[in-house]
C-alpha cells in the first residue's frame, strides 16, 4: 500500500508529464524541448516545492501561465518535425 508521500510523488510526476506533453502540443515543439523548457522554469520549482498549492491546478492552466509569465524560456524554440 502506498503512503501519502508516495502518492504525492506519483501525482506530481503525472502532472509534470501532462504539462510537458501539453506544452509540446501547444507550442508545436518536440517533447525533448518541452522537457528542457519545463525543467528550466520557475513553475517546475514551484511544483516540486508545493508552493502556493500550485500542484493542484489544472495542467492546461499551468501551461498557459508558463507561456505568459516565463516567455523568455521560449526564445530559442524550434518547430517540431
Domain boundaries, the chain: 4-74
Residue 13, C-beta contacts closer than 8 angstroms, at least 6 positions apart: none
Buried b (16+ CB within 10 A) or exposed e, 11-21: eeeebbeebbe
Supply the pLDDT for residue 15.
Answer: 97
Is the pTM for the entire model greater than 0.85? Answer: yes
| Tens-digit pLDDT profile for residues 16-72 | 999 999 999 999 999 999 999 999 999 999 999 988 889 899 999 999 999 999 999
| pLDDT cut 90: percent of the chain above it | 74
Supply the pLDDT for residue 81.
Answer: 46
CB 29 within 8 A of CB 79: yes
Amino acid at each position: 500500500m502506498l503512503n501519502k508521500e508516495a502518492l504525492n510523488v506519483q501525482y506530481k510526476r503525472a502532472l509534470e508529464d501532462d504539462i510537458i506533453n501539453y506544452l509540446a502540443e501547444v507550442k508545436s515543439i518536440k517533447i525533448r524541448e518541452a522537457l528542457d523548457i519545463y525543467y528550466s522554469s520557475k513553475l517546475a520549482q514551484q511544483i516540486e516545492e508545493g508552493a502556493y498549492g500550485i500542484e493542484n491546478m489544472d495542467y492546461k492552466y499551468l501551461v498557459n501561465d508558463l507561456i505568459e509569465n516565463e516567455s523568455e524560456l521560449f526564445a530559442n524554440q524550434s518547430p517540431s518535425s
